[in-house]
Amino acid sequence: MRAFLMALLVLLAPALARAEAPANDQRLILVTMDGTRWQEVFRGPDAALLADKRFTHPDMKDAIEKSWKRGADLMPFLHSLPARGGVLTGNRDAGQCMAVTNAMWFSYPGYNEIFTGRADPAITSNDKIPNRNTTFFEWLNRRPGFAGQVRGYGNWDVFPFIINDKRSGVPVNAELGGAYPTETSVMRRAMDALREKGPRVLYIGLGDTDEFAHMGHYEHYLEAINRDDDFIAELWRMVEADPAWRGKTTLIVTTDHGRGAAPGAAWTEHGSAESVRLDPAGFTIADPAGFPGSDQIWLAAIGPGVHAAAPGSGCLTQSQIAASALTALGEDWRAFDAGAGAPLPFFVGR
């Protein structure tokens, strides 16, 4: 009898300990799609760019027009989020607004703003310089409950520098051996990581959208957008099927910058007038005015950290994403950086 009671206690102990432990076992998946315009996300393919032989192979035009008429055809998963209690915002045609606050409108300054919650005017290039700023990944990686639980994957070889993997201890592409990985290998590793239930915070940086846009391949840019949406949908199915992730994972999807909005070739580029002045050789189109509109971004989110919120009057900013992510994880964003952008309205209050 005593042996039976002991056995019962041994069996019950973990359950009792679980019940008494703090409720914070929240997880986060942050996905970025490099240089993906809100125009394609919400309007779908641009008719003028499809008809322009410089950007779209004529053989592809009809097929694209048939399959992707609207943004919801191109990105069915992200467009399904509002009906599931999530958000998709940044549609300027619908009066929504989201923008970067950094003055450059390209990648390193944008990722730094997403990961740290503020623009750093000293970051004026994409050079492989270890970030002097502390990202929320690094801060979490030093917090109880998160140490060793933060991981990143991306197919741009500057991510290890932006996240400062050496100082932060956050592994970025650790299993990919330092090679420049393809987007599909990044997706596969990220899914493996999710399956292993290891990281509580998973960052995935997808870059094909920006690469194809710079090359002027509009149909490949669109295909990358569609493939990324499909990948994110699969990730979310995995989350919902797995008790370790289901009901405690907040997913955020966003972009580091937009692209030029003027007719013609402007969509292939991005950057402010200031960034063109600093590095005129870094652009294939010489335009001292920069690429207006490439500061405009969008964001999607779903999960227990996301709540219905009245649309604010101002323009949402990229600098609010770090505090939003920390709030979704049940962490105090002010303890991370009281000067960071405040959480987005749909990440606060119930």
Binding site for Zn ion (CB under 5 A): 35, 210
C-alpha closest to that of 26 among 143, 113, 157: 143
For Zn ion, the closer CB: 199 or 260 = 260
User: What dihedral do alpha carbons 69, 221, 172, 166 form, nearest 10°?
Assistant: -130
Output the residue with the shortest Cβ distance to Zn ion: 210
CB of 88 to Zn ion, least distance (A): 23
Distance CA 319, CA 113 (A): 5
Distance CA 219, CA 259 (A): 16
For Zn ion, the closer CB: 155 or 249 = 155
Q: What end-to-end distance do the CA atoms of the chain give, in Å? A: 49
Helical pair 208-215 and 218-241, crossing angle rounded to 10 deg:
170
**Residue that has been written with the tokens 């699969």 in this structure:** 234
Q: Is residue 74 a contact partner of residue 226, using CB atoms and an 8 Å limit?
A: yes
For Zn ion, the closer CB: 189 or 270 = 270
3-state helix, strand, coil in the chain (%, to 5): 45, 10, 45
Q: Is residue 294 a contact partner of residue 303, using CB atoms and an 8 Å limit?
A: no
Q: Is residue 306 a contact partner of residue 86, using CB atoms and an 8 Å limit?
A: yes
Distance CA 40, CA 36 (A): 8
CB of 35 to Zn ion, least distance (A): 5
For Zn ion, the closer CB: 210 or 337 = 210
For Zn ion, the closer CB: 19 or 286 = 286
Q: Is residue 32 a contact partner of residue 205, using CB atoms and an 8 Å limit?
A: yes
CB of 34 to Zn ion, least distance (A): 7
Distance CA 275, CA 25 (A): 41
CB of 207 to Zn ion, least distance (A): 9
Distance CA 185, CA 188 (A): 5
For Zn ion, the closer CB: 45 or 207 = 207
CB of 258 to Zn ion, least distance (A): 10
DSSP-based three-state secondary structure for 167: helix
Distance CA 194, CA 202 (A): 8
Q: Is residue 291 a contact partner of residue 313, using CB atoms and an 8 Å limit?
A: no
For Zn ion, the closer CB: 35 or 45 = 35
CB of 144 to Zn ion, least distance (A): 38
CB of 233 to Zn ion, least distance (A): 25
CB of 107 to Zn ion, least distance (A): 6
Q: Which residues make Cβ contacts (< 8 Å) with residue 292, sequence separation at least 6? A: 260, 261, 262
For Zn ion, the closer CB: 283 or 304 = 283
For Zn ion, the closer CB: 245 or 291 = 291
Distance CA 188, CA 182 (A): 10
